[in-house]
Structure 1
Amino acid sequence: MTLPSPVVTALRCSLCGDPVEPAGRTLRCPRGHAFDLAKQGYVNLLHAKVPAGTADTAEMVAARVEFLGAGHYAGLADRLAKRAAGLRPNLVVDAGAGTGYYLARVLDEVPEATGLALDVSALALRRAARAHERIGAAVWNLWEPWPVATASAELVLNVFAPRNGAEFSRVLRPDGRLLVVSPQPAHLRELAAVVDLLEVDERKEERLDGALAGYFEPVSREEHIERLTLSPVDVCRAVLMGPSAHHPERLARLGEVTEPVEVTASFVLSEYRKLP
């Protein structure tokens, strides 16, 4: 597998900031820094260890692939893709892309677009690199300055992932847009009866706007709420694919779930305009 050419054009050397070019199964900058393309199709641009408990584990990735593959969040993915299609982007950067599920759905809806999947988990990006033929995947820590050219993208996606407002703004073109999906406090709240889940901040939307202030202004915000019936297996997957999986002590009662559980999926899709 190779990276799509628009992705290579947008990427920068993570050591010196120069443009990179493909050389066989390597990306190389003019100063000689080289980054090998993994056989699974992604490139690792990190040059530092990832802090423990930050990246998705193999178990988390497997749970996410199976849960999303069952279609539980398909409605959210469709809504995100339709909103993205209205913006008609050429390059879409998915910050915290995970397995590439949402980015692939966006690219299905926007045939002229190419996607760059950024995530700190190489295990997740193995999936993302194969999720769509127009996805190029690169391992990176979103809290660090991104190895992506300034003003190279028309759209940044951020779905349940860390938010680096400065980098969102830098990589977007002047008329670029940011689409953020975040859970509401009611999201999967019913599972709290059987699992000690990490709670969603009641002031999450307020904090979201605050984190982006100075870089973006809100354009619109819409809720996506639906009822889901999760089998015991899918209850486990829903929990294991999220941040609670980094806290095994919270999962002690997960095996007690033996019957389907009715839950509420509750998200907010926010669109932001880049400030001048």
Structure 2
Amino acid sequence: MDPRVLDRLRCPVCGERLAEETVGTARALRCPRRHSFDIARQGYVNLLAGRAPHVGDTAEMVAARADFLAAGHYDVISAALATAATDALGRLGAPDAPPPIEPSVPDFEAYPLVVDAGAGTGRYLGAVLAALPDAVGLALDVSKPALRRAARAHPRAAAALADTWQRLPLADASTAVLLNVFAPRNGAEFHRVLHPAGTLLVVTPDTGHLAELVSALDLLRVDPDKADRVTGSLGGHFTLVSSSAHRAELTLGRAEVASVVGMGPNAWHTDPAALAARLAALAEPVRVTVAVRLDVLRPR
């Protein structure tokens, strides 16, 4: 594991620092109290403290997401995050930026850490790191199929199995930028791991997102108040700095429509047989709107 990321990790059981050890062909992270966490051969480390209440996205959902994102259909989101993260790191180095809470974190400004909480395949983290040549990254997710891909998302990225609802396996104030894209949010933990001058970037569906498919395929509808509720839920720990809308118009075939449905929450809530029938009835090409909101928040 990249030592620049390892320096920021902490044991999820006792909070001590972690070090990498190799025994034969097996690798693991261990703390001074000998709590041990295996590094899978695919490159991610399991940093769960106990069992997660859910296993996250399935292999089928992850494969659908990987195919859809690789085609560039959500690059509007990647570009918005990369721009916002670049702006955030510029603020981090400002003369009036607060000092780190934990100054023992080595090379904080030399190697700022970008964390993607609920990273999925790591596509967005990879795009942000590509725009930030001095940063390192960490993908956190509870889905093993997703982490197998996230571990290869970028040469400067590491990946760890972790539940967003538990204590995150990171040092206090260790993170410069925290990404949260269509994923659960733990405001208290996000606040703890972010540098006082750090930035939280939250992407949520906006009104009109995939609207052309909602009626045609009987999909879940976007709550028109969702973005405001998300911001409100973080209000005790963060201040909203800015909010921007990002849109794109896609032209998709049926297979791509099936991927965008299968990669998200609709995969859990849609009857496969009924969905297949509705997909077969769609006239190609299918025009689909991408509409998201990007909120930039800073710790209180």
Moved more, 176-185 or 59-68: 176-185
- 1:262 maps onto 2:284 in alignment: no
1:250, distance to aligned residue in structure 2 (A): 6.5
Q: Which residue of 2 aligns with 1:211?
A: 233
Secondary structure of 1:151's aligned partner: coil
- Measured after TM superposition, the shift of residue 247 of structure 1 is 2.3
Does residue 185 (structure 1) correspond to residue 207 (structure 2)? The answer is yes
Q: CA deviation at 1:248?
A: 4.0
Q: Partner of 1:86 in structure 2?
A: 87
Q: Which of 7, 11, 14 lines up with 2:12 in the alignment?
A: 14
Normalising by structure 1, we get a TM-score of 0.95
Q: Report if the CA contact (8 A) 2:76-2:247 is conserved.
A: no
Name the aligned partner's letter for residue 88 of structure 2. L
1:44 is matched with 46
Conserved? CA contact 2:219–2:270, under 8 Å? no
TM-superposed deviation, 1:79: 1.7
Runs of 4+ residues deviating >6 angstroms: none
Q: For 1:91, give the aligned amino acid.
A: L
Partner SS state of residue 127, structure 2 = helix
Worse-matched range after superposition: 74-83 or 262-271: 74-83
**1:105 paired residue number:** 127
CA contact (8 A) 1:195 1:251 kept: no
Aligned match of 2:32 in 16, 30, 33?
30
Q: TM-score, normalised to structure 2's length?
A: 0.87
Gaps of 5+ in 2: 93-111
Corresponding letter in the other structure for 2:5: V
Give the residue type in structure 1 aligned to 2:176. E
How far does residue 206 in structure 1 lie from its aligned partner after superposition?
1.6
Q: Give deviations 1:215-251, integer Å, cap 9, x for gaps.
A: 1111111100111111101000000000111124276
Please give the alpha-carbon distance, in whole angstroms, between the structure 1 residues aligned to 2:126 and 2:232.
29
Describe the shift of the 1:176–1:133 C-alpha distance in structure 2 as closer, same or farther (beyond 3 A).
same
| Matched residue, 1:75 | 76
Cα offset for 1:47? 3.9
Farther-moved stretch of structure 1 (196-205 vs 135-144): 196-205
Q: 2:150, 2:273 → 1: CA distance? A: 27
Higher mean displacement: 63-72 or 6-15:
6-15
Question: Quick check: 1:201 aligned with 2:223?
Answer: yes
Q: How many residues align?
A: 272
Shift of 1:109: 0.2
TM-superposition CA deviations, 1:132-189 (whole Å, max 9, x none): 0111100011011111111001111101100111011000011111111111131001
Contact 1:104/1:131 (<8 A) preserved: yes
Percent identity of paired positions between Structure 1 and Structure 2: 51
What letter corresponds to residue 138 of structure 2 in structure 1? Answer: L
| Cα pair 1:196 1:250 within 8 Å, conserved | no
Distance 1:264 1:131, change over 3 A: same
1:83: Cα distance to partner?
Answer: 1.4
Match for 1:103: what amino acid? L
Structure 1 residue matching 2:217: 3-state secondary structure: coil
How far is the alpha carbon of 1:55 from its aligned partner? 0.3
Give unmatched runs, 5+ long, in structure 1.
none
Quick one: which amino acid aligns to residue 272 of structure 1? L
